[in-house]
Amino acid sequence: GDSVTQMEGPVTLSEEAFLTINCTYTATGYPSLFWYVQYPGEGLQLLLKATKADDKGSNKGFEATYRKETTSFHLEKGSVQVSDSAVYFCALRTNAGKSTFGDGTTLTVKP
Amino acid sequence: GAGVSQSPRYKVAKRGQDVALRCDPISGHVSLFWYQQALGQGPEFLTYFQNEAQLDKSGLPSDRFFAERPEGSVSTLKIQRTQQEDSAVYLCASSPPSYEQYFGPGTRLTVT
């Protein structure tokens, strides 16, 4: 079945540091890939998405590129802020049905 | 506009009680999903509706779990004879005919 594996946390960085959170997947067919963010006390929010190979999703300074050859969708940001502290989930969706999520990576950014 | 809403936001149930969790999707979204999120884990799929039709219920963990969406809008997830392992956050998401799902804030269920 489909699965998503993401980098274990927690991750602690200083403000303005470079962020990478690794995500790899296993899926049948051609999935769409997503990163969701969950801020403390809030629900899941879509951060960015990519629907086909080599697409790059970007939002709020975050980027991820759909790499079919390595089945990866790593999340990056060049300079993190304290306000980026949250839990980040990688997910895939293979048709109009269910999404499969990773276990989440907790990011803490210190001033 | 209004997002996905869920009620109640918090529910405490004694073991053996029945509970009903409600989801109001974004108006016009034909697809509706239920997920279960245990502490420290990612959401796990439970079931999926397209309009009023339940197209996939492969994730429901037992026959104590039942979901319905009779008019293709509001959905209810019912858990009968709750057990401690049912304690989790239950998330609802709705989706237009694209791949983007919009999540509600969740209902945190605690079974004592």
Query: For residue B61, is the peptide bond before it cis, meaning its omega torsion is within 30 degrees of 0?
Result: no
Pairing of strands B44-50, B31-37: antiparallel
Q: Which of B41, B55, B101 sits opposite A103 (nearest CB)?
A: B41
Mutate which: A6, A44, A48, vs B, most B CBs within 10 A: A44
Across the range A33-43, mean pLDDT stands at 91
* pLDDT score for B105: 92
**Is B103 part of the contact surface with chain A (CB cutoff 8 Å)?**
yes
Whole-angstrom distance, CA of residue B41 vs CA of residue A42? 16
User: Confidence band (pLDDT; 50, 70, 90) for B94?
Assistant: very high
Q: Of A83, A92, A85, give the one whose Cα is nearest residue A106.
A: A85
CB B47 within 8 A of CB B61: no
* Sheet arrangement for strand B75-79: B5-7, B19-24, B75-79, B65-68
Dihedral sign, Cα of residue B108, residue B44, residue A89, residue A10:
positive
CB A36 within 8 A of CB A86: no
Residues A87-109 pLDDT 10s: 999 999 987 678 999 999 999 99
User: Confidence band (pLDDT; 50, 70, 90) for B1?
Assistant: low
Mutate which: B26, B29, B103, B107, vs A, most A CBs within 10 A: B103
* pLDDT score for A42: 84
